[in-house]
Structure 1
Amino acid sequence: MTGTEAIIRKPIDHDNHIVPSLDGADVNTVVEALCYRAIHNCKQTAFVHLTDGEDNEILITYETLWGKARSIAHLLQPYEPEGKRVLMLFETGIQYVAALFGIFLSRAVAVPSFPPVGSRALDRLHSIIKDAQPEIILVNKTMSRYRDRVLAEKTDSDASDHCPVWIEVDDLDLQTPRITLDSDCFPKPEDLALIQYTSGSTSDPKGVLLTHANLFSNCRTASIWMGGRRHRIGCSWLPPYHDMGLMGGILQPVYEGFKTVLLSPGHFVQRPLRWLQAISRFNATITIAPNFAFDLCVESISEDERSQLNLTSLEDIYCGAEPIRKATLDRFNDYFSPVGFHSTAFGPCYGMAESTVFVSGKPRGTEPLSIRVNQSALTEGHLLLADNNATQAISLVSSGRAATDHIIMIVDPDTGHPVTEARIGEIWVQGTNVGAGYWQRANSTATFGASIEGIAGTFLRTGDLGAIMGGELFVTGRLKDLIIIAGRNHYPQDLELSAQSADPRIRNNGVVAFSIEQPDRGEVLALAVEIQRSEKCSQAQLEEIHRAITAILVRHHGISPEEIHFCPMGTIPFTTSGKPQRQATKRSFIEGSLRPYAVSDKSNRPINQ
């Protein structure tokens, strides 16, 4: 190592951080953490579920949550659950939390999934069931009604002898035998805890193998990053079957022992105001959200509704799961600062299911760091700070510094050699948050077992592109999504943001950019563009939007789209974390199955120049 490689290495700093000890208890798993809370914080509220997203609430204490988890573990015992895969089908809520810990306590392997509501959700669930082959499916009465729909995809080619047992968990008896901290039945740190399926933004969902040690490590490193144990009240609407919602909205609160308010993703999307109302009502200090949530709030919450909010309690709002846009953070801060929001609460971070969730983040209590970089240099593969008056510049938001005990390296994806400061390469990660591999995937070693000469241990190849400048990580995009035309690198999110700004009739977050192969020209740029539902565009109006998009892409990026496919809202597929599925959109476009926009003259042809 020369000392010039792009690397972030973060050792534990015992002088400046308080490593959470759960008050000195010998606790090594999140199950033991919940048991500890049930004994020492028994009457404290653990979770509040807003069943309608607003006023109707169900509370549960740590003592009662522990009792429900024990009851579910007891219910599973006749099926000899240890080591078996248990698929979870629950809506957001307390039942989900209790079921998760009940599965853990039975030493089974949880497979988080989501309700089979809607064709896309059902298709994803079918793919998870086919891959995971769960021995048990745990449901409540509401989800049990979907049994026929869930199993409808089973075919003769699907392990014909595999038939999962369905178990309902409603109305459980809480009077099961007491389990104490020294019980031999607790899972061990090295035991497999869950199979966390990835969001599938560039490929089909893959199941990440996470041990109890991984979950506990993620909680520990996140707690250190958050400033150690302190008074907190959480609020989360993120789906608990997604890595960020599961870790940030359920396991972290139990680890730290703070009350958390839960809303369903559906209630948030239907009315984003509910999220900020819950923060105001419960004086929440910490919450989590992806980039698109901030845009939704600004666009949908009126000034009168905003005036009823009080966000002064909010100290930390962690944002990740998709590229973080400076303009989005600025808009949210400008709009909600009159009701007490402060920009230091923003906590841009970076992570993925393969690392449990947490890799890096902004130091607490500081302003988010952003830089303006030269656009030409960016396309050539490195970060170069732009002049103050430069017009061809792009803003990048830092994803902070590495988690404690973790190493981030920027590596040439072709050679496997580290690159120098400010050069763009693939992000590689090493540390105890990194999972054990993919479930039933032969190529796990290539992803989780990468090595770098001169550094002990193996690295996770994230598939993300980024660079390190001044010790800060800047994520620039996905390796598989990178668009290379005429030898220049174009990041799809930059093209999408420019195209979206071309005309107000384009839906916010409704543009996907990808490359397609043409025999006579090689790789060319194509766009899928969703039109606002409220707009009724004629052919001439689409041609006008087409010209505006082309003009802004040529002006800002020096590239002209070969194809622009206009489509109605709801056409572009998104992951469970709100990221556009660019490769799926590209496949649908090539196959001719991407829905066209129905123009007033009934012509459904994509408009091309």
Structure 2
Amino acid sequence: MTARQLQAPEDGFVPSRDFVQCLARLAEDRGNAVALTVVSQPAGAEAREEVFGYATLWTQVRALAATLQREAVPGERALLLLDNDQHYVVGLFACFAAGIIAVPVFPPESARPQHVARLAGIAADAQARLVLTTAALAPLVTTVLPALGVARLVEVDRADPALAGQWVEYQPVLTDTAFLQYTSGSTSDPKGVMVTHACLMANEAAIRALMAITAADRFAVWSPLFHDMGLIGGLLQPFYSGIPCVLCSPDHFTASPVRWLRLISQHRVTVSGGPDFAYRLCIDRVRESQCDGLDLSCWRVAYTGAEPIRPDTMQTFVDRFGRCGFAARAVYPCYGLAEGTLMVTGVPPGHGMHTVTFSETALARGQVLPEGDGVALVACGQAAAGHAVRIVDPGTGQMAAPNRVGEIWASGPSMAAGYWQNAPATADAFVTDDDGVRWLRTGDLGFVHEGQLFVAGRLKDMIIVRGHNLYPQDIEQAIENQRDEVRKGRVAAFAVA
């Protein structure tokens, strides 16, 4: 599969070596420019916005980094138990500036065992030395520290700015792990993807190229920052490109989905997105009366990924919010995963969603056959320059024949270093071919059609019935289409042994 060529920068953009250098440069060159706008709305109160410049954030980062340098040595791990706000930015960048490996995690709902179990599993696997949180979350976090096996808690918002001068300048080693991205899984066997500083910067370059990001863009992010889509694609890309970011919490969005659209309209956001369910939530819960005054004509890239992309969802979103200025060409399907740092492929921006229907019978046999009345799948584009995607027969490990479904493999500088302290899992997922090229076995099934990647499903989720391969999302969608009483996105199909 041919990679898309990186475009030469048209706005004088010069990439930084790492994110420590990136923020330091921005603070020096454009210290008073708006870096981050944090939007919140406490219950019963009006919406509130706090604006932060690069210089202010850099001072806070150095102050916290100086504290971390006294508490731990480079290479030790720190859990980030923080909300979607400026403190997450400060905590993450401070870890980078102190050589601490950040571990993005979610604040527990309570101290109940069921809310702490997975978090405790991650803390044990990472052997975390520190927990970074805020004064507001500290009482709850303190109660769960024994379960996490971590003795030291650092409150990000209590770092004295005067300590910034005590920071010992630190330049990350590019091959060192920047953070551990823990993937979904059981509480007893979490897997931490090792994202190095080099992987991170390579993927940010790929995202910028694939989405054609320029100095004129603005981001809005509601996705949780402990997830790679929110962290790498939503928060860090604006800092990498030196452009403004509007940030709110997932709860702010889910409590009233129109808030996301209003942020885009009011702040003239050009790049924002989320999984399929986010667009479905807007379709289901934004009332017609709430659309009055919305102007979404600024929205240039509406990325969708992280879960199966349903063409009916995106087409309905286009139809529903087209009257608010949302353009069909803004829909941006993409494909990625934590082991690839984040983004693996993306469509050309401005081309919109390209849907092809394929024979369901042929797909069940592993064959790719376009058919007018079949299963609709969305094209997810191509890899960036320096990266590649191939389709491999999972049974033989060899390249799949043309027009065959196989496992998606990916290669390039964005591929992660492996799984933290898990050599068997690393050896299984990351393989080297006869030409010495290192490939990531994604575990996803797909194929290349007319030069674009199409994702068919997960290899482990596939249901085999009398020798035919059935994809759960196809079964789920068929039930939704045939039963009026079934709500879209509320059906799950899976094999029972």
Give the share of equivalent positions with the same residue, in percent: 37
Deviation at 1:270, TM superposition (A): 1.2
CA distance in 2, matches of 1:456, 1:501: 47
SS at match of 2:144: helix
The reply to whether residue 451 of structure 1 matches residue 438 of structure 2 is no
* 1:591 paired residue number: none
Note closer, same or farther for the CA distance 1:320–1:406 as it changes in structure 2 (3 Å cut).
same
Is the contact between residue 38 and residue 66 of structure 1 (CA under 8 Å) also seen in structure 2? yes
Which digits, 9 at most, give the CA deviation of each residue in 1:319-375, with x for residues without a partner? Answer: 110010110110000000001000111110000111110100011111211101011
1:145 is matched with: 139
- Which residue number in structure 2 is paired with residue 564 of structure 1? none
Deviation string for 1:117-176 (max 9, x for gaps)?
15665332122112212011111112211235423546xxxxxxx643111122332233
Q: Give the secondary structure class of the aligned counterpart of 2:475.
A: helix
In structure 1, distance between residues paired with 2:414 and 2:495: 34
Q: TM-score, normalised by structure 1?
A: 0.77
Distance 1:167 1:269, change over 3 A: same
Give the alignment's Cα RMSD to 1 decimal: 2.2
Q: Does 1:112 align with 2:104?
A: yes
Which residues of 2 match residues 233-248 of structure 1 at below 5 A?
233-248=218-233
What is the aligned partner in structure 2 of residue 474 from structure 1? 454
Q: 2:387 aligns with which of 377, 395, 406?
A: 406
Q: Does 1:96 align with 2:88?
A: yes
The aligned amino acid for 2:318 is: N
- The offset of 1:250, in angstroms, is 1.4
Asked if the contact 2:5/2:384 (under 8 Å) is kept, the reply is no
State how far apart, in whole Å, the 2-side matches of 1:37 and 1:422 are: 48
Higher deviation after alignment, 414-423 or 478-487: 414-423
Deviations 1:236-281 (A, max 9, x none): 1000110010011211000101111111011111111110011111
- 1:307 Cα shift? 2.1
Please point out which of 426, 431, 440 is paired with 2:407: 426
Secondary structure, in 3 states, of the residue corresponding to 1:186?
coil
- Report if the CA contact (8 A) 2:363-2:469 is conserved: yes
1:165 aligns with 2:152: yes
- State the SS of the aligned residue for 2:357: strand
**Cα displacement string for residues 551-600 of structure 1 (whole angstroms, at most 9, x for unaligned residues):** xxxxxxxxxxxxxxxxxxxxxxxxxxxxxxxxxxxxxxxxxxxxxxxxxx
Q: Secondary structure at the match of 1:438?
A: coil
8 Å contact from structure 1 (residues 238, 245) kept in 2 = yes
CA distance in 2: counterparts of 1:281 and 1:311, whole angstroms: 9
Alignment of structure 1 residues 204-243 onto 2, 5 Å = 204-243=189-228
Equivalent pair of 2:121/2:188 in contact (CA under 8 Å): no
- Structure showing greater Rg: 1
1:175 to 140, 152, 162: 162
Query: Structure 2 vs 1, CA of residues 205 and 404 (structure 1 numbering), >3 Å: closer, same or farther?
Result: farther
Q: Does 1:134 align with 2:107?
A: no
Query: 1:18: how far off?
Result: 1.8
Corresponding residue number in structure 2 for 1:496: 476
Q: Distance in 1 between matches of 2:438 and 2:365?
A: 29
2:409–2:439: 8 Å Cα contact kept in structure 1? Answer: yes
Change over 3 Å in CA distance of 1:344–1:204 after alignment to 2: farther
Question: Matched residues in 2 for 1:505 and 1:31: separation?
Answer: 53
Instruction: Provide the rounded CA distance (Å) in 1 between the counterparts of 2:11 and 2:266.
Output: 31
Bigger helix fraction: 2
Is this contact kept in 1: 2:31–2:53, CA < 8 A? Answer: yes
Q: Distance in 1 between matches of 2:134 and 2:390?
A: 44
Match of 1:280 among 255, 262, 265: 265
**Do the aligned partners of residues 433 and 152 (structure 1) sit closer, same or farther apart at CA in structure 2, a change above 3 Å counting?**
same
1:587 corresponds to which residue?
none
- TM-score, normalization: structure 2? 0.94
Question: Runs ≥4 in structure 1, deviation > 6 angstroms?
Answer: none
Change over 3 Å in CA distance of 1:235–1:201 after alignment to 2? farther
What residue number does 2:492 align with?
Answer: 512
Matching of residue 125 in structure 1 with residue 114 in structure 2 = no
Q: Residue 347 and residue 190 in structure 1: after superposition, are their counterparts in 2 closer, same or farther (change >3 A)?
A: same
The 1:24/1:494 distance shift into structure 2, 3 A limit, reads closer
Retained in 2: the 8 A contact 1:20–1:220?
Answer: no
Task: Write the distance in 2 (CA, Å) between the matches of 1:40 and 1:300.
Answer: 43
C-alpha change, 1:423 and 1:324, in structure 2 (3 Å) is same
| Equivalent AA in structure 2 for residue 285 of structure 1 | T
Q: 1:255 is matched with which residue?
A: 240
Aligned-pair distance for 1:447?
Answer: 3.5
State which drifts further: 76-85 or 252-261. 76-85
Aligned-pair distance for 1:23?
4.4
Question: 2: CA distance between counterparts of 1:24 and 1:444?
Answer: 37
Aligned to 1:578: none
- Retained in 2: the 8 A contact 1:114–1:121? no
Distance in 2, Cα, partners of 1:413 & 1:79: 46
Gaps of 5+ in 2: none
Measure the CA separation in 2 of the matches of 1:260 and 1:403: 24
2:329 is aligned to 344
Structure 1 residue 90, shift from structure 2 partner? 0.6
Q: Please tell me whether the aligned partners of residues 361 and 402 of structure 1 are also in contact (alpha carbons under 8 angstroms).
A: yes
Residue equivalent to 1:47: 36
Aligned length: 492
Q: What one-letter code is carried by the residue in structure 2 that aligns with 1:46?
A: A
SS across alignment from 1:65:
helix
Provide structure 1 residue ranges, at least 5 long, that are not aligned to the other structure.
1-7, 155-161, 518-609
